[in-house]
């Protein structure tokens, strides 16, 4: 993986491909390359940023081409391992996202047949397989190659013989952008927004033959129609809008994101009948599956659902669920994925569907794979998130889980109305957190001097301690661990000393006294303590070294304000350390391989 683009039309392909690749940089990558058809196929690729390629690549003429940004899975980052890859003859060029699980077997067969490989990648077998089966009809050769490939793929294929492109996918996202006398291929919608808002979402095992004026889609050899959609995002949505980094922009967008997410839900103070989640029967139990930041959102969801409804909720890492886990019966499963394309989550969703479990996807991307696999979809309406570190999408997931919980049958009307009132206040509360960012900057300056940090929380804020640690390690490269505060004394306290800061989330709820006890234990080991606390907590300042004060919020909603404060802390810490905030090393925005 990571980013695929393709163009066929009347304009010069090179600047369009490079511009589209630059729009996909948020997905994370270590190298990039393009291939242009001009009688033969000209390729330029290297382990550079797209902006460097825009300045330094040679003149490549032609109106048809493909491009790729690579995040290494097989073989180290190098110009040789970069995409596009070609066959022995140089007649075919391919870019590929996904993992070919049987590539070693195919590679050995092809070598025995005389094919010569130049890279360490699994992807290189694809153009060689196409060459093997090519008999004048590219579509048939690509299909024959894909029939032998096991694993996941999204591919774009270019040939020197004719002015067409082939696109195909299985378990990895791919779209067609429809223009006027030109067509586009991309792994994500933002890549085409400068040129068109008309989008076709390919589905598993689709193969598309694309010319500048038309396209044909087949599935298992049968021609089919896929609906055309209008993209709901604009190209302005993926610009920095004057902010230094996308992450800072997206943190500051969160009041609007919350308002957008609850806007359809609340009409005149009551749930909207067309936006409220519909329950066909009473919910007996629930499974939540997710990865990374979305998993932390799921843990908050578990707390609020169990607290308000008294039904058991199981939260699993999708990456663990798929490997030898026996399916536990459940009445409903929620899959949380920002992109809607997370490979581990999609595999889990499909397992639930096979067991006839009702599935709900919480995702940020209309038309994504998760929305097509699940029975129902709750869209978070965060808008495109460019920075690799998830911020506004996490907050939108939390808000969606609150709404889901409030929609569950059986909640006492008075409790529900009280929580709805709190929910309506959240945009204003987040504005207050953002207004106090200057105080967080001073704490970040202190934190940036350290290499190891612990985050502790209790109850509903334990997942926020996990999320805070993840954010800090992702973008500042500081080793950070998140703990349930009571677990600190069961081993990890051995690591505490004067150069190991503790970040403690001190909620003004029934966990406060126990949290103060944990802080005292840390201070007794000379560890400096940074506390997140209510603005009216008069005692906390005398117990810790730094306090980040936050607006008083109802106990059930403190994860939202605390999460935003920790996002800002991670951002400013990374800035003080001079880290590449939007594109942290080794990370990809959309993890489409297992």
- 350 catalytically annotated: no
Give the other-Cβ count within 10 Å of 226's Cβ. Answer: 16
Strand order across the 165-170 sheet: 85-86, 92-97, 153-159, 165-170, 206-210, 215-219, 222-224
Active-site residue, 278 included:
no
Instruction: Give Cα 28 to chain centroid, integer Å.
Output: 11
Pairing of strands 546-550, 529-534: parallel
382 and 364 Cβ atoms separated by less than 8 Å: yes
Residue 405's closest CA among 522, 542, 557, 238? 557
Cβ-proximal residues to 354 (8 Å cutoff; 6+ apart), any chain:
none
According to DSSP, the β-strands at 332-337 and 165-170 are unpaired
CB-based contact 269:408 (threshold 8 Å): no
3-state secondary structure 515-583: HHHHHHHHHHCCCCEEEEEECCCCCHHHCCCEEEEECCCCHHHHHHHHHHHHHHHHHHHHHHCCCCCCC
CA distance 125 to 273: 52
Measured torsion, CA atoms of residues 252, 255, 259, 260, in degrees rounded to the nearest 10 = 10
**By C-alpha distance, which of 84, 215, 98 is closest to 146?**
98
Query: Using only C-alpha atoms, what is the Rg of the chain?
Result: 25
**Catalytic hit among 45, 249, 381, 589:** 589
CA terminus-to-terminus distance, the chain: 11
- Partners of 590 in beta bridges: none
**Which one from 2, 32, 291, 579 is the annotated catalytic residue?**
2
Sign of CA dihedral 567, 571, 576, 580: positive
DSSP 434-451: HHTHHHHHHHHHHHTT-S
H/E element, 209: strand 206-210
- Report the interhelical angle of 392-407 vs 292-309 (nearest 10°): 20
CA 227 – CA 311 distance, rounded (Å): 39
Integer CA distances (angstroms), 315 to 308, 312, 360, in order: 17, 10, 14
Q: Which helix (H) or strand (E) holds 349?
A: helix 343-354
Helix (H) or strand (E) holding 109: helix 103-112
Six token digits for residue 111: 């070598």
CA dist., res. 62 & res. 281, Å (int): 58
- Give catalytic residue positions: 2, 589
């Amino acid at each position: 993986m990571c980013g695929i683009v393709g163009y066929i039309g009347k304009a010069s392909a090179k600047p369009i491909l490079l511009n589209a690749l630059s729009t996909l940089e948020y997905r994370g990558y270590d190298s990039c390359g393009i291939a242009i058809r001009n009688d033969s196929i000209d390729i330029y690729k290297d382990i550079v940023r797209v902006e460097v390629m825009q300045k330094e690549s040679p003149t490549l003429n032609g109106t048809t081409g493909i491009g790729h940004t690579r995040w290494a899975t097989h073989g180290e980052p190098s110009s040789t391992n970069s995409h596009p890859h070609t066959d022995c003859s140089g007649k075919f060029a391919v870019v590929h996202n996904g993992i070919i699980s049987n590539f070693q077997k195919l590679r050995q067969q092809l070598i025995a047949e005389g094919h010569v490989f130049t890279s360490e990648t699994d992807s290189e077998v694809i153009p060689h397989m196409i060459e093997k089966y090519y008999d004048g009809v590219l579509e048939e050769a690509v299909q024959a190659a894909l029939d032998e490939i096991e694993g996941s793929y999204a591919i774009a294929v270019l040939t020197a013989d004719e002015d067409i492109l082939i696109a195909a996918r299985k378990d990895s996202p791919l779209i067609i952008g429809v223009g006027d006398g030109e067509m586009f291929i991309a792994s994500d919608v933002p890549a085409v927004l400068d040129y068109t808002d008309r989008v076709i979402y390919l589905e598993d095992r689709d193969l598309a033959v694309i010319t500048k004026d038309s396209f044909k889609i087949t599935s298992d050899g049968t021609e089919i129609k896929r609906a055309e959609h209008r993209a709901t995002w604009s190209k302005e949505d993926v610009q920095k809008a004057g902010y230094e980094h996308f992450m800072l922009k997206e943190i500051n967008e969160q009041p609007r994101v919350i308002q957008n997410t609850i806007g359809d839900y609340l009409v005149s103070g009551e749930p909207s009948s067309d936006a409220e989640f519909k329950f066909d029967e009473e919910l007996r139990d629930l499974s939540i599956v997710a990865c990374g930041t979305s998993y932390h959102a799921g843990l908050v969801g578990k707390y609020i659902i169990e607290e308000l409804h008294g039904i058991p909720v199981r939260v699993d890492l999708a990456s663990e669920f798929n490997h030898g886990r026996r399916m536990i019966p459940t009445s409903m499963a929620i899959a949380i994925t920002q992109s809607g394309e997370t490979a581990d989550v999609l595999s889990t969703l499909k397992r639930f569907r096979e067991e006839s479990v009702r599935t709900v996807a919480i995702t940020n991307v209309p038309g994504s794979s998760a929305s097509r696999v699940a029975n129902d979809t709750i869209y978070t309406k965060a808008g495109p998130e460019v920075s690799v570190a998830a911020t506004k999408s996490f907050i939108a997931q939390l808000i969606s889980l609150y709404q889901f919980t409030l929609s569950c049958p059986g909640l006492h009307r008075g409790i529900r109305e009280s929580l709805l009132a709190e929910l309506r206040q959240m945009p204003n509360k987040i504005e207050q957190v953002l207004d106090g960012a200057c105080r967080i900057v001073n704490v970040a300056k202190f934190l940036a001097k350290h290499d190891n940090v612990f985050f502790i929380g209790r109850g509903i804020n334990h997942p926020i301690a996990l999320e805070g640690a993840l954010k800090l390690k992702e973008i500042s490269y500081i080793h950070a661990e998140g703990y349930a505060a009571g677990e600190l004394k069961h081993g990890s306290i051995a690591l505490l000393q004067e150069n190991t800061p503790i970040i403690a989330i001190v909620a003004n709820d029934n966990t406060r006294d126990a949290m103060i006890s944990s802080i005292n234990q840390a201070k007794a080991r000379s560890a400096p303590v940074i506390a997140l606390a209510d603005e009216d907590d008069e005692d906390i300042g005398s117990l810790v070294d730094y306090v980040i004060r936050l607006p008083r919020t109802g106990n059930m909603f403190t994860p939202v304000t605390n999460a935003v404060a920790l996002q800002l802390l991670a951002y400013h810490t990374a800035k003080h350390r001079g880290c590449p905030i939007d594109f942290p090393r080794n990370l990809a925005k959309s993890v489409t391989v297992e």
